[in-house]
Amino acid sequence: MSVLRFEALPLPYFINSGFSLAGPGRKHPERWAVGEFDLIVVKQGCLYIGEEDRRYEVSEGHALILRPDLHHYPTEGCRETTASYWLHFQAGGAWRAGDPGGEEENEAQEEERLESRDGEQEDDEAAAGWFRKPTFGIELPQFARLLHPAKMYEALQRLIDLDRNSHMDSVRWEQQALFQQALMLLAESMRAERSRPGEEIADRAASYLRSRYREPISSKDLAEALNFHPVYIARRMRKQFGCSPMEYLIRCRLEQAKRLLLQTDLSVAQIALETGFRQAAYFTACFGKRERMTPREFRLRFLKG
């Protein structure tokens, strides 16, 4: 399965949509690098489409995303009356195409990318008020059998019905919300088709650390809670989050500390204890390394106004 991964925020955004009814012999149009993603959802019949060297038979209840940078062409005409929805959208942020089947083989490359992105985020934090941007990844199947086709048809039809009033800001907003719903339905279809135990372990580890950041936690504690070897947990977290479990724990503690520095009058020593740091000096050192200022300087920076 080919997977398209989008870095968000910003989110991919809706451009326009429509419905097509094609009789026998009609073909999907041929295009070269149109600059927009084209989501095709077939409600009845089948479309025969090629993208570079790949060929797809998009039958009833299936969805295909055509990339904005490749050549698309018909491989044959419709054999029966075919009804399909189409939706054009664009990526507001970075995106890439990949194959989840090569996960282990490309692990080193993926870790390098995550570490690079993490460094870029740290630079962005300094420029944007010292708060971490809530970026995340969205993975969509390029071709999939829909888990809930009726829900997808309903969302896409609603998008089309709203088009007559799309000059209104409130309607454009509703269209964007419906588009995000369509992407979530696509993502659900992909998750139903494949199992990613590595991602599940990383997510479970992150949830465990977030829920217990005030407590003293070791790699052994985490391994016993998840019933996996600590080296395996560390490898999965580094792949998914770009850091080790203990580095992730420090980040969680520092995020909570920043909130307490701004929202309370607690002393730096008290905040250190509240967020799981046993020594104020260690808290200050960790804070300075990540935020490039002391906790007191951080608090004063936002109290000057």
Q: For residue range 43-74, what is the model confidence (pLDDT) as tens digits?
A: 999 999 999 999 999 999 999 999 999 999 99
Tell me the helix, strand and coil percentages in the chain, rounded to 5.
50, 25, 30
User: Is residue 48 within a helix (H) or strand (E), and if so which, with residue range?
Assistant: strand 46-51
At residue 110 the predicted structure's pLDDT band, cuts being 50, 70 and 90, is very low
Model pLDDT, residue 195: 53
At residue 101 the predicted structure's pLDDT band, cuts being 50, 70 and 90, is very low
Name the average pLDDT for the chain.
86
Q: Looking at per-residue confidence, does 135 or 255 come out higher?
A: 255
pLDDT higher than 50, residue 127? no
Per-range mean pLDDT, top range of 25-34, 126-135, 195-204? 25-34
User: Could you tell me which of 197, 6, 240 has the C-alpha nearest to residue 248?
Assistant: 240
Model pLDDT, residue 134: 67
pLDDT higher than 50, residue 42? yes
Which amino acid is it at 61?
G
List CB contacts of 77: < 8 A, sequence separation 6 or more.
24, 25, 26, 27, 48
Which amino acid is it at 70?
L
Q: What angle do CA 184, 73, 87 make, to 5 degrees?
A: 30
Stated pTM of the model: 0.66
| β-sheet bridge partners, residue 22 | 82
User: Could you tell me which of 64, 73, 70 has the C-alpha nearest to residue 46?
Assistant: 64
